[in-house]
Amino acid sequence: TILILDFGSQYSHLITRRVREFGVYCEMLPCTQRIKELHFRPKGIILSGSPYSVYDEDAPRVDPDVFTLGVPVLGICYGLQEITWNHGGSVVACSHREYGHAMLSVIKHADHPVVDRLFDGFDGDIEVWMSHGDQLSKLPTNFRIIGRTQTAPYAAIAHEEKLLFGIQFHPEVTHTPRGKEIIGNFVKTICECKTDWTMACYKLGVGDPFIESFIDKEIERIRQIVGKDGEVVGAVSGGVDSTVAAKLMKEAIGDRFHAILVDNGVMRLNECTTVNSYLHSHLKINLRVVDASDKFLSRLKGVTDPEKKRKIIGNTFIEVFEEEAARIDKETRKSGRKSIEYLLQGTLYPDVIESVSFKGPSAVIKTHHNVGGLLQDMKLKLIEPLRELFKDEVRRLGKVLSLPDDLIYRHPFPGPGIAIRILGEVTPEQVAIARAADHIYIEEIKKAGLYREIAQAYAALLPVKAVGVMGDKRTYEQVIALRAVETTDFMTADWYDFPHTILKKISSRIINEVKGVNRVVYDISSKPPATIEWY
Ligand code: XMP
């Protein structure tokens, strides 16, 4: 077992995924975990990154026993700084914070092959992803430099006898293209872990036998839990996760699964009608659509703060969902059936790991909207058929369940919808503008055959007015910002490099067709330091 100590980085759960992909079992625990209280002896320890600085007074501190246990330790970003702090080195704030791509020059030590093991198989420069505001200013005693970048002279260090390794970059994100090999070197070569552990979802197979057997087993499991006459309720959004979960439920228990689609007034253009007709008419899911758009929009009146918008939408969603669930429950009992006992949720594996992580120091970047609060109020028991799966596996599941590619490969859409893509007040007029522009944008991306290449694209409506000229008239209208990113895990992302002819077409269509817009700009910021959503 590899022990991952989580200091609250946005990427901690990706470390877990990378280690498990090698067939090595690992557990992620909060960084405050005492080593003496562990119920297992790890073969190696990985210290994650963190939003903190090691010199902060309230910085999370690792149990010093980590360094005396006699097992290899790999520190990533903050983890490296924590190793340094504990071994007499120094860490300072960088004069230039470093986010994004960097080239790491590997430094080999022919006479000390042990320290070379982390970069086994590498020669010369490696492309790495940096995200840090601090860096080492003094090497701790008895450490050797095994890599440097132009701005970080101690970007990778190692201690030969103690088998301590520290790297400033993030090998766990896909933007470090060979990061997986580095983690592999640590767990396989340095920690000598066996690679025989398998979680069901890593078994890939031609024709997808794993997914097929997963479906059979999951349907059986749901039937056993729910019993012959149990009733289940669940929200659907039109996204791949909730649709796949709902389809599994339908296969397992038919109409005893009650799906609810809440129209919050800030969904995409025609979204509610499309989802309704697909789930209801095509998948034959027992679906209720609740049009609560007036309620949502009236509560959003005058609100511009993104976190407030998220809270209002989240709370209103719970309220509307509960009311409808209660109504369904009443009707079900009236017709002589059982009360609703279970709530379906499309929780994925990354959410499961995240919920065990060290929440204390983790910086809340954005409160993501979920329906977790429902449980306490409704006393429903949870069913989460996707809780072992990652997004790509849910897509494979969707494929085997014969869902159309359009749905399976749909870009993710945030729960608070267009409300967080309208950067000012959310009014029906602003929703109409944002929707129309977004619709044209996505339509043109699809026409150009680029939709699948892009992980997420949307149009944001800026709360500024710009001067323009249309015909012979001066205009004073709003600005649309187009965003498109490439990413696989949504934790790091690069802006998508569109052919200019396509941007030209999109811009001219939006300006010509969407009333109230006279300017279109394209967002060329990577994540980090920007996020995918503007808000
Ligand atoms: P950021 O903007 O944090 O987004 O880089 C990462 C991913 O999360 C989505 N996102 C949300 N999803 N509720 C959601 O359900 C939210 O409040 C929310 N905010 C961001 C975002 O669209 C991207 O896929």
Catalytic annotation, pick one of 172, 181, 322, 393? 172
Contact between 77 and 85 under an 8 Å Cβ cutoff? The reply is no
Helix axes 240-253, 209-226, angle to 10 degrees: 60
- The answer, yes or no, to whether the previous bond of 529 is cis (omega within 30 of 0) is yes
The Cα–Cα gap between 132 and 146 comes to 19
The atom of ligand 1 lying closest to the CA of 455 is 24
What is the DSSP track for 220-277? HHHHHHHTTT-EEEEE--SSHHHHHHHHHHHHHHGGGEEEEEEE-S-S-TTHHHHHHI
Ligand 1 binding pocket (C-beta < 6 A) is 310, 365-366, 368-369, 412, 414-416, 456, 490, 527, 531-533
Helix axes 12-21, 349-356, angle to 10 degrees: 120
The backbone torsions φ and ψ at residue 524, rounded to the nearest 5 degrees and listed phi first, read -115, 55
Ligand 1 center–CA 188 separation, angstroms: 34
Chunk the chain into consecutive blocks of 10 residues (it has 535) and report each block's average pLDDT, rounded to whole numbers.
91 87 87 91 96 89 95 97 94 83 94 94 92 89 95 94 96 93 97 78 50 84 95 95 96 96 96 93 94 98 96 93 94 95 88 55 46 57 88 87 91 94 98 98 97 97 95 93 91 93 98 97 94 95
Helix axes 391-400, 240-253, angle to 10 degrees: 50
Closest residue to atom 7 of ligand 1, CA basis: 490
Q: Is the ipTM of this complex over 0.85?
A: yes
Ligand 1 center–CA 260 separation, angstroms: 22
The Cα–Cα gap between 514 and 304 comes to 22
The Cα–Cα gap between 418 and 241 comes to 19
What is the DSSP track for 321-347? HHHHHHHHHHHHHHTT-PPEEEEE---
The atom of ligand 1 lying closest to the CA of 533 is 2
Of 430, 439, 443, nearest to 515 by C-alpha is: 430
Q: What amino acid is encoded at 47 in this protein? A: L
Instruction: Based on the residue annotation, tell me whether 175 is a catalytic residue of this protein.
Output: no
Query: Which of 368, 369, 487 should be mutated for ligand 1, with most atoms under 8 A from CB?
Result: 368
Q: Is 525 helix (H, G, I), strand (E, B) or coil?
A: coil
The residues pairing with 158 across neighbouring beta strands, listed in sequence order, are: 144, 165
Contact between 510 and 430 under an 8 Å Cβ cutoff? The reply is no
Q: Provide the pLDDT for residue 370.
A: 47
240 is in an annotated binding site: yes
Ligand 1 center–CA 207 separation, angstroms: 32
Instruction: Based on the residue annotation, tell me whether 101 is a catalytic residue of this protein.
Output: no
Q: Provide the pLDDT for residue 208.
A: 61
Q: Provide the pLDDT for residue 4.
A: 95
Instruction: Based on the residue annotation, tell me whether 77 is a catalytic residue of this protein.
Output: yes
Closest residue to atom 23 of ligand 1, CA basis: 532
Contact between 435 and 500 under an 8 Å Cβ cutoff? The reply is no
Catalytic annotation, pick one of 77, 193, 201, 272? 77
Catalytic annotation, pick one of 132, 159, 170, 439? 170
Chain-centroid distance of CA 18 in Å reads: 15
Global pTM value: 0.71
Q: Which helix (H) or strand (E) holds 309?
A: helix 306-334
Q: Which two tokens stand for residue 299?
A: 């509560």
- Report DSSP state, residue 497: -
Ligand 1 center–CA 533 separation, angstroms: 6
Q: Provide the pLDDT for residue 302.
A: 97
121 is in an annotated binding site: no
Of 313, 510, 524, nearest to 418 by C-alpha is: 313
133 is in an annotated binding site: no
Q: Provide the pLDDT for residue 353.
A: 62
Ligand 1 center–CA 496 separation, angstroms: 17
